[in-house]
Structures are given as structure tokens and as C-alpha cells.
Chains A and B, each alone.
Chain A
Amino acid sequence: QVTLRESGPALVKPTQTLTLTCTFSGFSLSTSGMCVSWIRQPPGKALEWLARIDWDDDKYYSTSLKTRLTISKDTSKNQVVLTMTNMDPVDTATYYCARIPPHDGYNFDYWGQGTLVTVSS
């Protein structure tokens, strides 16, 4: 059974760095073709893709946010970590992690429940 769960602070102050952890089970990020992405959704707005890390440690970032994002993985702990620097109120959103399965294109077949992050002083 595949599950993903996001964790991190619910509230961060402007200019601070956000660190989110995605803890997953039911699959291994060392399996060839496996990937995990982070996606966010501001309240009442559309989904926005943020970053992806692949089984071979290749990393890809949203063009508009790449200077602020870092994605990493700890395969032994089944975790993927996203850091976002210089947080601003416009970064208030629900942050999701999702799995991209191997060999089936680039789709998100399993999602975490999401974690709401509010940026406010």
C-alpha cells in the first residue's frame, strides 16, 4: 500500500526558510524510474508544480522558483525534503508531495493529504 505524508511548520514568518518533509511507504525511491514531486496550491487557486527528484538523484525545479528551492532525498528513511527560502505571504498554500511511478509517463498516481503552510508575521 502506497502512502505519502507531508510534515512541516504550519506557520512561517516572511523571509524565513521553509523545510517540508515527505515521508512515504509502499515503494522505494531507489527503484529505477521512480520519482517524487512537490506541488502546491494557494487557497482557492490552481495547482502549481514545484520540484521533482528522481531515483538516480536527478533534480528538476520550477523555472520561476528554482533559485529558492532545493529538493533532496534520504532513501534509507524513505523521505524527500523540500526547502524554500525567503518565504513571502504569497507562498501561503497547501503543499503536496506525490509519486511519479516508473515507466508510466509523468503522472502523479499517489498524493499525500497536503499540509497547509501560512506565511505571516
Chain B
Amino acid sequence: QSALTQPASVSGSPGQSITISCTGTSSDVGGYNYVSWYQQHPGKAPKLMIYDVSNRPSGVSNRFSGSKSGNTASLTISGLQAEDEADYYCSSYTSSSTLVFGTGTKVTVL
């Protein structure tokens, strides 16, 4: 099972919107609505930000939103804030009943 493909880095200025892509195959991202997104600050455990493609857990800011088209899922952060600077990972269920993570994206707030 190959890792899902994410851009290595994305940056934006405070207040701007950015989008992180997560590309897989029809055996994972494209085949199921079980894509989730995680935020990880240095030295910390990942935090669930989006589940089932576009659902936000309680307590997560509505500045975070998710979507999917074909084999590519996306995470959009609107109104970018300094606290959003972190690594972001996507994850998907697969046809083998396993799970797979993305390669990770470092978000920098300029």
C-alpha cells in the first residue's frame, strides 16, 4: 500500500485561504468516503480535524473544511492564522481493509 501523495509544503499569509491536496487511487481515496485529516504540531500527537471527507469533529474551527473529487481529497484552511502552522496528514481506508496515511504537508504562515 503506497502512501497517499501530498505536497511537501504550502504557505499563505494570515487571513488567506490555502488548500492541501491528497491524491490516492480508486482503491483508497476514490473508493470510499473515509478520508480524514490530521494536524500535528512539533512534538505533539496528531489531532483529528476532518473525518469522512468533510465532517468536522466538535471543537474544530469551521475555518477547516474538506472535500473530495475522484481520487483526490482536499483540506482547505480559510482565514489562515499563525496557530495553523503545523504539519497536516490525510488518511484513507483502503480496499484491503487497511488504512494509509499521506506523505504530509508542512503549512507555513508567512
Contact = CB atoms under 8 A, between A and B. Distances in A.
Range of interface residues on B (Cβ < 8 Å) = 20 to 34
A63 B1 contact: yes
Nearest to B57: A109
A37 interface: yes
A12 B70 CA distance: 43
Contacts of B46: 47, 96, 108, 111
B69 to A, nearest CB: 18
A109 B46 CA distance: 9
Contact of B52 (A52, A105, A112, A114): A105
Contact of A106 (B1, B89, B93): B93
Contacts of B57: 109
A46 B89 contact: yes
Contacts of A64: 1
Contact of A109 (B48, B97, B101): B48
Interface in B34-55: 34, 36, 38, 40, 45-48, 51-52
Interface of B: 1, 3, 33-34, 36, 38, 40, 45-48, 51-52, 57, 89, 91, 93, 96-104
5 A-B pairs closest in CB distance: A107-B51, A107-B36, A111-B45, A106-B93, A46-B104
